[in-house]
Amino acid sequence: MDRLALPLTLRNGYLNRADSMEESIFHAVGLLLSTRLGQIDFLPEFGCDVWKMEFSDLEAANKGEVRASLRNAIDKFERRLFNVSVSFTSRTDSASHVLGISVKVTGNYRDGAEEKKFEANYKLG
């Protein structure tokens, strides 16, 4: 089965394809976490409500609520993943980020009959 890869780039009349289920999930979760709620007109509930927060709000926010919000968005829109966990990770670079959040997403997925572990890090901002 063909899976699209991000960014969506048309080359020689074809869109880029992901090489694996894991790569496809990686791109899909990244798109979900980087999209503001309401940003996609035909699917206004797609995205992450963390983008409504200012950096100062995020520092004072209940980290458990933020993690739950991210996990709930993934549960709702990336159904290939299950047993999803979201945790905050420390940034190792000095690049400025709007939100200043680095998160680690872990879970499981099925690739055919085989169950596999998914783990990826994302920078929001």
CATH of the domain at 22: 3.10.450.40
Domain assignment present for residue 97? The answer is: yes
**36 is a domain residue:** yes
Give a yes or no: residue 1 inside a domain: no
Domain tally, the chain: 1
Q: How far apart are alpha carbons 61 and 83 in whole angstroms?
A: 24
| Whole-structure pTM value | 0.79
Whole-number Å distance between alpha carbons of 37 and 54: 15
Q: What is the DSSP secondary-structure string of 6-58?
A: SS--EETTEE-B-SSHHHHHHHHHHHHHTSBTT-STT-TT-SBGGGGS-HHHH
Per-residue pLDDT reduced to its tens digit, 2-23: 665 656 666 676 667 778 899 9
Tell me which residue range forms the domain holding 89: 10-124
102, part of any domain: yes
Distance of CA 25 to the CA centre of its chain: 9
Listed range (22-26, 46-50, 68-72) with the worst mean pLDDT: 46-50
What does the chain come to in residues?
A: 125
